Structure 1
Amino acid sequence: MIATNLRNPGGNIIGVQTIGSIEKALEWHTLALPTVKKILVPYNQSDMSASGGLEDLEKAAEKLGITLVTRRVESPAELRAVFANIPPGTGAIWLVPSNFLDSHYQLFVEASKTHKLPVATSTAVFSSINPFLSYSPDLEAMGKQASRIVGKILKGIHPGDIPIEQAEFFLKINMAVAHELGIAVPEEILRQADAIIR
């Protein structure tokens, strides 16, 4: 983190913080899929956000008794190879924050359909990316937050005097994917979801 004080960041630092959703996302995943104890996690080493997200995911998985099968990928071909050799007993696929992985999300979709494995994430994703479960900031809502911050600057407030805002997180369940994969989502989870895609 660049700013040491979120309420008074100082300098010219402004923004919306998205830290804090990974552990909760994995908790929601465990509640939605209690029998899944092994999750495949492809990651791209050169993507700094992916590396940080992977570390947080590993800590959360250890707390929850989940085994992560991590696989480093540097190209679409390597990602295809990972999906072609998914270890036995794997119950889901996790999408870590990564521009590289987002740009090749269709490979996640294909793997999900081929192996009947749900995809989950804690990263803000575009509407074209529809994982089974996501607990993450909404890009449109983050855009509105950022617009409010810019508005304050245009009114003459110094950037360093504007608190860095915390993004709001939303639990989304894709029931269309759940039906396709034969997943029965507990009613308790559906009642608490912020959005249900059908």
Structure 2
Amino acid sequence: MRKLGLALAAAVFAAPAFAADVTVGVTAIVEHPALDAARDGVKDSLAAEGFIDGDTIDFVYQSAQGAPATAAQIARQFVGDGVNIIVPISTPSAQAALAATRDIPIVFTAVTDPLAAELVPSLEAPGGNVTGLSDMSPMAEHVALIKEITPDVETIGVLFNPGEANSVSLVNRLKEVAGPAGLTVVEAAATKSADVQAAARGLVGKVDAMYVPTDNTVVSALEAAISVAEENDIPFYAGDTDSVKRGAIASIGFNYYDVGVQTGKVVARVLNGENPGDIDVTFASGSDLFVNPGAAEKMGVTIPAGVIERANTVVE
């Protein structure tokens, strides 16, 4: 890896293009299928744009293993190493990157609410050294799906880490759309992955269904929560489609590999000389319905045939 000084790293804004030996620092708050898929999508997208790992770029990836303090250390390390661009995956990693540098370009991805997370002051031409891609969940569609599959549900327990700004935004949005749909929301906090199972157990007897948004802490320990749902015949829904493969009943969401591909195209624009502050923050496109009839059966639920018929993916 070539080590660049901060002054040279900052010069990326003015450079027309990088010829070779460019370092792309990629970091995620934790490793789980959705974030891993986003990382792979970024890497493949960059290769398609001519930025090939081991040839024209060094693609360096580090996971914070769920620890915000480690995310901050990784960001500072990237700055010290003089990477040309930082690609943080998830809100905590993006916040850590911005705290570490106002000079090196940052292109975030899998960030739910960039404004609430104070990453950018505006979605349009945000200015500074930051832009990226939001994965705000289609929460109203999630609630409608829950009501369609399990119409008797009146109370839903949401598992989330209140320390993740993205999750707080999603829970607030869930409350906004749940009320008109006749649902009451019960919160269950888990500040670290080891707390997830206990948080799920705390919902037993209080809720008719469980839901986890795109919360990195809970998703990293998803099976622990799903086991509680299965033991107690409580329908379990998720905010991302990868979690359906792991045992949730259903979700409407993004293909996170495609989210990574979309992000990689923005990264390439910056590597080719555009100022990230001049690039609008965009929202991930595409929406797939995933269902898991086997998981539903374990929770005492039968998914309606009409839902299965229109699903993009039926997990066997």
TM range (shorter): 0.7 to 0.9
Distance in 1 between residues matched to 2:153 and 2:244, nearest whole Å:
26
Q: How does 1:37-116 map to 2 (within 5 A)?
A: 37-74=154-191, 79-88=196-205, 90-116=207-233
CA pair 44-87 structure 1, distance change in 2 beyond 3 A: same
Instruction: Tell which deviates more after alignment, 127-136 or 55-64.
Output: 127-136
CA pair 77-154 structure 1, distance change in 2 beyond 3 A: closer
Match for residue 306 of structure 2 among 165, 175, 188: 188
1:123 to partner: Cα distance: 4.1
Counterpart secondary structure, 2:180: helix
1:66 to partner: Cα distance: 0.4
Residue matched to 1:10: 127
* Higher CA-based Rg: 2
Counterpart secondary structure, 2:131: coil
Correspondence 1:174 to 2:292: yes
1:71 to partner: Cα distance: 2.4
Counterpart secondary structure, 1:64: coil
Distance in 2 between residues matched to 1:128 and 1:81, nearest whole Å:
23
1:56 to partner: Cα distance: 0.9
Distance in 1 between residues matched to 2:193 and 2:259, nearest whole Å:
29
Residue matched to 2:282: 165
Correspondence 1:140 to 2:253: no
1:78 to partner: Cα distance: 5.0
Bigger relative contact order, structure 1 or 2, given CA contacts below 8 A and separation 6+? Answer: 1
Distance in 1 between residues matched to 2:126 and 2:192, nearest whole Å:
37
1:112 to partner: Cα distance: 1.8
Counterpart secondary structure, 1:14: strand
Distance in 1 between residues matched to 2:182 and 2:141, nearest whole Å:
14
TM-score when normalising by structure 2:
0.55
Q: Is the 8 A contact 1:126 1:139 kept in 2?
A: no
CA RMSD of aligned residues (A): 2.5
Distance in 2 between residues matched to 1:113 and 1:68, nearest whole Å:
20
Distance in 2 between residues matched to 1:75 and 1:174, nearest whole Å:
27
Residue matched to 2:267: 150
TM-score when normalising by structure 1:
0.84
Q: Is the 8 A contact 2:139 2:173 kept in 1?
A: yes
Q: Is the 8 A contact 2:245 2:292 kept in 1?
A: no
CA pair 69-5 structure 1, distance change in 2 beyond 3 A: closer
Q: Is the 8 A contact 1:45 1:72 kept in 2?
A: yes
1:50 to partner: Cα distance: 1.9
Distance in 1 between residues matched to 2:199 and 2:293, nearest whole Å:
26
Distance in 2 between residues matched to 1:127 and 1:67, nearest whole Å:
23
1:15 to partner: Cα distance: 1.1
Counterpart residue identity of residue 293, structure 2: M
Distance in 2 between residues matched to 1:14 and 1:5, nearest whole Å:
8
Residue matched to 2:236: 119
Runs of 5+ unmatched residues, structure 1 = none
